Amino acid sequence: MMVSALIEREQASAAFPVRHGVFIAVVGPSGAGKDTVIAYAREHFAGDDTVAFVRRVITRPCDGATEDHDTLEDAAFVEAATEGAFALSWEAHGLKYGIPASVDEAIANGHIAIANGSRNAIPALRERYENVAVVEITAAPEILAERLAARGRESRGEVMARLARTVKVELTGPGISTIDNSGPKEIAGEQFVAIIRKAIAFADVGRF
């Protein structure tokens, strides 16, 4: 019994980090246009089943104005996490976020998985997946303010004050790219598509 348990633990340990494919984490401040850039790439790679655009689970209703995601109440999210439904989960801004466990299989099969992520979740991603590319979407402060104010949740002054209070977590480590999305979405979108193509090439030849 004890020997069996030891073998199971060793097998579980050997399963990580998951190899072969690439996880692309898209990060950046609110208003930078992460969802817009991801949507551009999704359209470009439509029909390519080796590129998976991950549908996250969030404890927030899907209102059509933000990321298209699956929704769970807090208690249901915790239960799902306990049952192993997520490859990775984290909390930010009072919400819980989960990456479906099916992503592990996609990466193990040499596919590319792309998800809107969190800076604070990057260390856990790098522990779980051997190949992680981080793409930071940015925009000029005045552009961020205009986009956030356009959502109608805060006045421009409130938005500027909130942006001024934002503490930026510096990104470190390999595989980090930055895309300025201050201009037309096509410019940033094509840059992101190029990064995904690089990830596909790496998955084919085994180096990134």
CA distance 192 to 190: 5
Please report, rounded to a whole number, the percentage of residues in the chain having pLDDT higher than 90.
60
- Look over the chain and give the mean of its residue pLDDT values, rounded to a whole number: 84
Residue 16 phi, psi dihedral angles, 5° rounding: -125, 145
pLDDT-derived band at 68, boundaries 50, 70, 90: confident
Domain 19-138+170-199, CATH: 3.30.63.10
The closest alpha carbon to 13, from 131, 173, 132, 127, belongs to 127
Two tokens, residue 165? 């209070």
Q: Which residues pair with 22 in a beta bridge?
A: 112
- Residue 22 CA to residue 103 CA, distance in Å, equals 10
Which residue type is seen at 14? Answer: A
Question: Which residues are annotated binding-site positions?
Answer: 28-35
Position 160 scores a pLDDT of: 62
Rounded distance, CA 94 to CA 157, Å? 23
Whether 181 and 32 have beta carbons less than 8 Å apart is answered as: yes
pLDDT in tens, 33-57: 999 999 999 999 998 999 999 999 9
**Binding site per annotation, positions for ATP:** 28-35
Instruction: Tell me how many degrees the CA angle 117-120-122 measures, rounded to the nearest 5.
Output: 65
Task: Note the pLDDT tens digit of each residue in 109-135.
Answer: 999 999 998 888 999 999 999 999 999
Q: In whole angstroms, how far apart are CA 29 and each of 35, 52, 92, 119, 162? A: 11, 23, 12, 10, 11
Mean pLDDT over residues 156-163, rounded?
62
pLDDT of the residue at 175? 82
Write out 31-88 in H/E/C secondary structure: CCCHHHHHHHHHHHCCCCCCEEECCCEECCCCCCCCCCCEECCHHHHHHHHHCCCEEE
- Give the model confidence (pLDDT) of 164-173 as tens digits: 555 555 665 6
